[in-house]
Structure 1
Amino acid sequence: MLAPLRYGAFRFLAAGRMVNMLGNGVAPIALAFAVLDLTGSVRDLGLVVGARSLLTVLFVLFGGVVADRVPRRLVLVGSNALGALTQAVVATVVLTDTATLPLLLALGAANGVVSALSQPASAAATPQTVPAELIQPANALLRLGINTSMIGGAALGGVLVAAVGPGWGLAVDALTFAVAAVAFTGVRIAAPGTAGARSGVLADLRTGWSEFTARTWVPVVVLGFMMLNAALAGGMNVLGPAVADETIGRSGWGLVLAAETAGMVVGGLIALRLRVRRLLLLGVVCMFAESSVLLGLALAPTVVVLVTAAVAVGIAVEQFSVAWETSIAQHIPADRLARVYSYDMLGSWIAIPLGQVAAGPLAAVIGTRRTLLILAALMVLSVLGMLTSRDVRRLQTAVPARTADTGSDDSHPAESTASAVPDAR
């Protein structure tokens, strides 16, 4: 299970992503309460988080092209350095009481562009750091480390916001971006096959689209998550903090988010040991649990109920995440992987700003409880929609062996591992 750690590039990638996630555990809590302290408006909070999501969606395809044309280590280092700069400015204006809503909107948008550049490169780099037979345990280990970091980040975010204010939480997030940039300098992997290619951006995008649509299960799952993520973002990012302010408190909300990540850690341990051919089917079925936190917020917003639901959600989400990343890595050629991930991210995220911006006004009209119940129902329907696809139900992935010859430490693993397994449509 620990065999991927024998590869130096994987260790540096895992370290950088863990540090990133430590900051990402702090940032949503800090930003949410910074906006609520500034304006007291759930609608304003929806606008700020929606602006960041919108710019990520608009630029993620460009990020995928860049990650398939430029050495991925360079993209990771540069984007994290920019992330440190943008979050440092956000922390400064909050700490100095000079923040305004337009300024937070602009800085959130800038951070969204940074995220669009970073995420396709990060996802596509993983299969290049280990041999093909170790992709599933590598994904599981990455997720395990990331989620362990987010436990500490969410708990730290709740403590910082409650004790010294949201500005310090944003400052911690800026610091983690800088540390991650340093860690990513050690991710020494081969440049993608299209690095330095002279084809135009539009031609690269067309190639990525052809690869994305060549396998029915890919767009079906992405469309399902378009609706699921929009509902989740509106419920968790906008209505969740508002309900928490009136019931379990800010520290309690941090505990709920930490509990979800704790569930992900447990889920990661389970995913490390899974030997399932129809891994994607299992992952999609697990997503029925995703709506339970929204149901808890609507029907019984207590710490016990929400923490229990959050743990269950974390375990379920981790099964899907490992299943999806393993399926993509095993069936998409490595030199096109970042572009396919960028289309995946675009489709999965494109409706998130709508969910974030619409949640507040809808709650004002029909009530927070009814809005949360509607969002939970939409999440269940999205999972049912994915399961109607025969390809989703039947896709098979290579089952990792229980033992593997991992060899010695290798800082330069196989240059292309994603296409090692034949496509199973």
Structure 2
Amino acid sequence: MSSLPSPSLSPSPSGREPSGRRPEWAGRNYTLLTGAAVITNLGSHGALIATAFAVVQAGGSAGDVGLVAAARTLPLVLFLLIGGAVADRVPRHHVMVAANALNCLSQAAFAALVLTGDPQLWQMMLLTALCGTGTAFFNPAAEGMLMATVSGPQATRAFALFRMAMSGAGVGGAALGGAMVAFMGPGWVLAVDAAAFAAAGALRAFLDVGHIAERAPGGGLLADLREGWVEFRSRPWLWSIVLQFSVVVAVIGAAEAVYGPLVAVEQLGGAAPWGVALAFFGIGTIGGAVLMTFWKPRRLLLVATLCMFPSALPAAGLAVPLPVWGLCAAMLVSGVGIEMFAVNWMTTMHQEIPEEMFSRVSAYDWFGSLSMLPLATAVAGPVESAIGRTSALWGCAALVILATAAVLLVPDVRNMTRKQPAAPATPGSAKPSPADSSPADSSPAHSDRSSPAGV
């Protein structure tokens, strides 16, 4: 895996960046990846709001909103493992660009359907399913690309700044998307999302992978998946937190994708206040990312897990329901916590997982974390009918707390510590660099686990 250091990524012998040069975590590929992520987050955060309100405007019920949300997440779950294996076999940036193209086409068709006609439920489900399929291939490739682009002791800062940029775009996207839905309708927001995917795909096509050695052929797709599974299951800290997120992501998804828009329509004043509340979540994630640029906790996963308890606040706030300012406060605190989790999670993955396994392990991470989301969003409507929306939301909050408390029982979660970076290479010596040894590229983690453990 060793190779000569890339000029744009290796630090100076003194450990300080020479005047006029970008720091090692801000090389060409890092800058392109960050710019593309900002563009897609601007579009996608508004599109999430637009999709729910497109269903409602077409006469859909809570169950219909849940079915459309499930149609997006079901293929995302089904194809994640294949996407991870593919991304560790072929250049990751090719996978990312192809996935962006599929997302662009599906969102453009969805926008045209909403703007020009009377969209049917099955049509909206089909188009969101295509978008979910693109995301299934994109996420593991993107996860591997960013991690392979970053190296050195500034990895945590690089991840934090990357996520800060994404979160800032999410704030703008949610606020702008909510306002556009309120004043222009959801179709135009979906059209903007399609354009954002096209622009981001164009940027990712310019990633520089000329210095990256081609990956040796593996033993086939199934063999690659088995290798990824062995790597995944051998790490208790990894699979236990993924199990935690399978519950947390599912109930947060049901609360915010299904119940949230309905509470907004009936009790908060519509799409615009809901967009503001989501924007405050984004502001919180920016605050969490800023904090993580300065703070490097020694017990990475203990701090990360403790930061997940506030994720129960939005569901509880919707259950009350709190006035808009109270819900915004709950979203803000939740955003801070989940971003602190995400940066520590990315740092842990970066230091513990071999580079050649990044995408496959990331695929198992995303697969497990999202596995229950389609079911949760699909049954959210029937659960509301059976026990009432308020009880369902309180149940969501309780499950977040219980799942997070349970993972603290795992010793590896409590005891995982940050590793000290290796000493800087001396002038003229070869320095192993993930960015140079990668067969292609990576992106956010559990992210949009805020991205959930990646959403």
TM over 0.5: yes
2:183 is matched with which residue: 149, 155, 163?
163
Query: Residues 319-358 of structure 1 correspond to what in structure 2 (within 5 A)?
Result: 319-358=340-379
1:73 partnered with 2:101: no
Query: Residues 97-176 of structure 1 correspond to what in structure 2 (within 5 A)?
Result: 97-176=117-196
Residue of structure 2 in register with 1:408 after alignment: none
Question: Compared with structure 1, are the counterparts of its residues 413 and 186 closer, same or farther at alpha carbon in structure 2 (3 Å cutoff)?
Answer: farther
Question: Compared with structure 1, are the counterparts of its residues 308 and 131 closer, same or farther at alpha carbon in structure 2 (3 Å cutoff)?
Answer: same
Question: Compared with structure 1, are the counterparts of its residues 46 and 187 closer, same or farther at alpha carbon in structure 2 (3 Å cutoff)?
Answer: same
Q: Could you tell me whether the CA contact under 8 Å between 1:151 and 1:262 is conserved in 2?
A: yes
Q: Could you tell me whether the CA contact under 8 Å between 2:26 and 2:158 is conserved in 1?
A: no
Q: CA RMSD in A?
A: 2.2
Residue of structure 2 in register with 1:53 after alignment: 73
1:268 partnered with 2:289: yes
Q: Could you tell me whether the CA contact under 8 Å between 1:68 and 1:192 is conserved in 2?
A: no
Amino acid at match of 1:28: L
2:212, 2:355 → 1: CA distance? Answer: 7
Residue of structure 1 in register with 2:445 after alignment: none
1:87 partnered with 2:119: no
Q: Could you tell me whether the CA contact under 8 Å between 1:57 and 1:349 is conserved in 2?
A: yes
Residue of structure 2 in register with 1:422 after alignment: none
Amino acid at match of 1:384: A
1:68, 1:14 → 2: CA distance? Answer: 21
What do the CA deviations read for 1:148-193 (whole angstroms, capped 9, x no partner)?
0001100111011100100001001101000100111232247987
TM-fit CA distance, 1:254: 0.2
What do the CA deviations read for 1:7-41 (whole angstroms, capped 9, x no partner)?
11100011111111111111110000000111230
TM-score when scaled to structure 1?
0.93
The sequence identity of aligned pairs, in percent, is 39
1:217 partnered with 2:237: yes
Aligned to 1:337, what secondary structure does the other structure show? helix
Residue of structure 1 in register with 2:275 after alignment: 254
Residue of structure 1 in register with 2:208 after alignment: 188
1:313, 1:389 → 2: CA distance? Answer: 23
Query: Residues 35-50 of structure 1 correspond to what in structure 2 (within 5 A)?
Result: 35-50=55-70
Residue of structure 1 in register with 2:390 after alignment: 369
Q: Could you tell me whether the CA contact under 8 Å between 1:68 and 1:194 is conserved in 2?
A: no
What do the CA deviations read for 1:346-394 (whole angstroms, capped 9, x no partner)?
0000000111111111111111101100111001001011111010000
What do the CA deviations read for 1:289-341 (whole angstroms, capped 9, x no partner)?
00101111111331111000010001000000001111011111111110000
Question: Compared with structure 1, are the counterparts of its residues 413 and 57 closer, same or farther at alpha carbon in structure 2 (3 Å cutoff)?
Answer: closer
TM-fit CA distance, 1:133: 2.1
Aligned to 1:271, what secondary structure does the other structure show? helix
1:313 partnered with 2:334: yes
1:254, 1:398 → 2: CA distance? Answer: 40
TM-score when scaled to structure 2?
0.87
Amino acid at match of 1:288: F
Q: Could you tell me whether the CA contact under 8 Å between 1:4 and 1:10 is conserved in 2?
A: no
Amino acid at match of 1:277: R
1:303, 1:196 → 2: CA distance? Answer: 55
Would you identify which runs of 4 or more consecutive aligned residues in structure 1 move more than 6 Å?
A: 190-194
Aligned to 1:370, what secondary structure does the other structure show? helix
Q: Could you tell me whether the CA contact under 8 Å between 2:156 and 2:293 is conserved in 1?
A: yes
Q: Could you tell me whether the CA contact under 8 Å between 2:46 and 2:178 is conserved in 1?
A: yes
Q: Could you tell me whether the CA contact under 8 Å between 1:57 and 1:116 is conserved in 2?
A: yes
Aligned to 1:203, what secondary structure does the other structure show? helix
Residue of structure 1 in register with 2:224 after alignment: 204
